[in-house]
Structure 1
């Protein structure tokens, strides 16, 4: 899979250990809009997807997470690799730990009908909702997040992916 970009803060020289948490995300486009999960609590957008569990490959994780977070059933035969984003930085919670993450993005289609979400408690607490978004609106929203417990690189990563999709004429 092609490396689209790296997000490396070079702030981890003092780290003595690493925490690796890779993720896989879906890019589902319909009529010029992209499927995004909207956090109503913190008012940001993210591509459906999340952490790759032990024993899963990235495609399996993307399909599972897209169904859980967005209620969308990915059509397996439609899945195509899009890109990889590599992120590395000092942990927000432990200065001795380095956070490393490869984020795998896949272009795919989903069935028209949605199913019930199967959200974790924090996702329910954030009010995750599927929305098909105009990409420019999602970019603007993510670059203006006022308050959240998350590192801002997550919002910027999603904005940059949307910009690349636009530049490459997917959107």
Structure 2
């Protein structure tokens, strides 16, 4: 899959002599008309693509479908196609490693506009995460404003905003 961007968090000055943990993840791009299926997270005041980490040995497509279904309640997931991968290096705040190297594999897909019941993890619920169909341009503008004005922003907002802009430009 084509690498769309490699991003280094500002705190990651070098990879030399660093212990690096690699995490593989997927992100789903589901568009219906002028709306895109995103997650809004109250804690971070941002929009993001549904997705998350792959289980050990899990196939990327299987993991993408699992994450999309868990986080949004999406059903009838079909017509899955690779979009590209986003690679990032960010600080890791656990003692075993210095840096997390995350590769997010992004796929376009179609889903039923009517969502089923999500099965979010407890931290996702605590963070106020909810699935929403929204206008992609409004989501981009919202994230840009959050990056400029909010102290709450999470580490993933730059990745998410970059991907949303690329999706909007691609005319999917």
TM superposition score category, shorter chain reference: 0.7 to 0.9
Q: CA RMSD in A?
A: 2.1
CA contact 1:17–1:96 (8 Å) conserved in 2: yes
CA contact 1:12–1:90 (8 Å) conserved in 2: no
Gaps of 5+ in 2: none
CA contact 2:71–2:118 (8 Å) conserved in 1: yes
CA contact 1:88–1:99 (8 Å) conserved in 2: yes
The offset of 1:74, in angstroms, is 4.8
- State the secondary structure of the residue aligned to 1:119: coil
1:148 aligns with 2:152: yes
Aligned pair count? 167
- State the secondary structure of the residue aligned to 1:142: helix
Q: What is the distance in 1 between the residues matched to 2:18 and 2:83?
A: 33
Per the normalisation by structure 1, the TM-score is 0.87
Per the normalisation by structure 2, the TM-score is 0.87
- State the secondary structure of the residue aligned to 1:73: coil
Q: What is the distance in 1 between the residues matched to 2:17 and 2:97?
A: 4
Q: Which runs of 4+ in 1 moved over 4 A?
A: 92-96
Match of 1:112 in 2: 113
Residues 74 and 8 (structure 1), Cα distance of their counterparts in 2 relative to 1, 3 Å cut? farther
1:7 aligns with 2:7: yes
- State the secondary structure of the residue aligned to 2:62: helix
CA contact 1:14–1:95 (8 Å) conserved in 2: no
Gaps of 5+ in 1: none
Residues 23 and 95 (structure 1), Cα distance of their counterparts in 2 relative to 1, 3 Å cut? same
- State the secondary structure of the residue aligned to 1:21: strand
1:22 aligns with 2:24: yes
